[in-house]
Amino acid sequence: MPEEIPLRSARDQAALVRDREVSARELVEASLAAIERLDGALNAFVTLVPERALAEADAVSAGDSRPLAGVPIAIKDIIALTEGIRTTFGMRAVGDWTPPMDSAVVRRLREAGAIVVGKTNLPELGILPVTEPERFGPTRNPWDVERTPGGSSGGSAAAVAAGMVALAHGNDGAGSIRIPASCCGLVGLKPSRGRVSVAPIANDTIGLVSDGVLSRTVADTALSLDLLAGYELGDPFSAPVPASTFAAAAEREPGRLRIAYATEAPTGAPVDPECVTAVEETAELLESLGHEVEAAPLDLDAEAFTEHFSRVWISDIGGSVRTIASVLGGELDRDQLEPLTRQMTEIAESISATDLIASISYLRVASRGMLALWADHDVLVTPTLAQPPLELGALEPDEGAEPIDMLRKAGEFVPFTPPINVTGQPAISLPLHHCAAGLPIGVHLVGPHGGEELLLSLSAQLEAARAWAERRPSLDL
């Protein structure tokens, strides 16, 4: 029984506490035991707080009715501050800084009864779609330890896929929830811009980043969004108020929808046949469920989009380095930055305000063009990634290449997700396919702005038609 508990959904775990079948301490002990058994091989966690987690569990009364009462969770080690628990952003230069407060997302999860057992690994500053920071070393994919779990929320995804926790926080600025969800066979929703606050952290330049969770079920993702959604004082963005709870949306039929699908990358990057097959099979499944389905090309000037997105992305990284230094009370030691981070920071300092504003303007106008597809469709379906999970080290620059070339290689892996951060739409990766090698392949569903209810209803319908929660890695570690 104890080994099985972390494999139950977060909702089921909370129900066990509510029904007095299991104590919160037993939930946390089971999670900690799974971490001790598995994390030596996977390296999903960078900080653990077992004593604190057990003390918090002991304060949860039997029968506690809160939606996540006693449920062990993990928090990604960037943006989401954790009072009394170090936050490193995956950087050696930050040391062991410990914030004096929780971010809004952490506060909301704790208020719902969740118990933080630790912080999870990520690439330095969340830059890359793989999780291989110099400070903490690579996180490994539970489905194949020689491959990446994706990034930047790779530690969170590995922790959930391996059954160390049922729910883990992540954030997504260019795909960083959806990418690891695809690599690890999980559900990963990027909410609409403004749906979830990143307070007290300042938002990035144009609101690329959204916070959310990695989970094994649509129901857990919907419940989490109900808990996380909502305005905080000073937020520069907001999302439409939903008609009902997101949990309720995941329990009702979506109705007949107009669905477009595309298998060619908007940037022209080559797409692996397995990723194409995943979408084509999903399109057939959707049609069998009664939806109107048709192929529709994506309208994007790949060269211009890449140029302007890269300029904004690099500027935000440079700004983050400066902001972190300010919070820590001085300059960061740049010799302790990874080569890519250091180079991006130097490039950022050479970008003029005029050029940055021009790039922001370009992306906002480009968003209007991309969003035109939703005038005639409800949902777009694409591959989440252009390739199955990469081997560890695959994004290292070639000999003699500049560190910045890693971004180009990364773009070939993740051409489908960044445009949706620019438009601000909700998007979800669902584990609907496995390749011949047994690795998960995610399918990417994109809804209209503010359309999480629609996406969750459709995702739950697909989950019911092709259940995936019991399909887990063998974990012969």
Q: What are phi and psi of 267, to 5 degrees?
A: -95, 0
Task: Identify whether 65 is a catalytic site residue.
Answer: no
Question: HSE on the CB side for 202, CA within 13 Å?
Answer: 13
Catalytic residue from among 9, 153, 156, 176 = 176
Report the length, in residues, of the chain.
477
CA–CA gap between residue 64 and residue 57 (Å, rounded): 11
Strands (DSSP E) contained in 397-462 are: 427-434, 440-446
The residue from 9, 31, 76, 156 that is catalytic is: 76
Nearest-angstrom CA–CA distance, 153 and 44:
10
| Of the candidates 356, 416, 352, the residue with the CA atom closest to the CA atom of residue 381 | 416
Dist. CA 192–CA 449, nearest whole Å: 6
* Helix (H) / strand (E) containing 432: strand 427-434
* Residues 101-112: b if buried by 16+ CB within 10 A, e if exposed: ebbbbbbbbbeb
Q: Is the peptide bond before 200 cis (omega within 30 degrees of 0)?
A: yes
Structure tokens at 253: 């039929």
Q: Is 76 marked active-site?
A: yes
**Which of the residues 152, 153, 315, 429 is marked catalytic?**
152
| Lookup result for tokens 């504003």 | 357
Nearest CA-CA partner of 162 in 216, 243, 84: 216
Q: Does residue 172 contact residue 153 with C-beta atoms inside 8 Å? A: yes
Residue 409 among the catalytic residues: no
The answer to whether the beta carbons of residues 270 and 386 sit under 8 Å apart is yes
Query: Order of strands across the sheet with 115-120?
Result: 45-48, 115-120, 72-76, 167-172, 210-215, 187-190, 427-434, 440-446, 379-383, 258-261, 292-295
Active site residues: 76, 152, 176
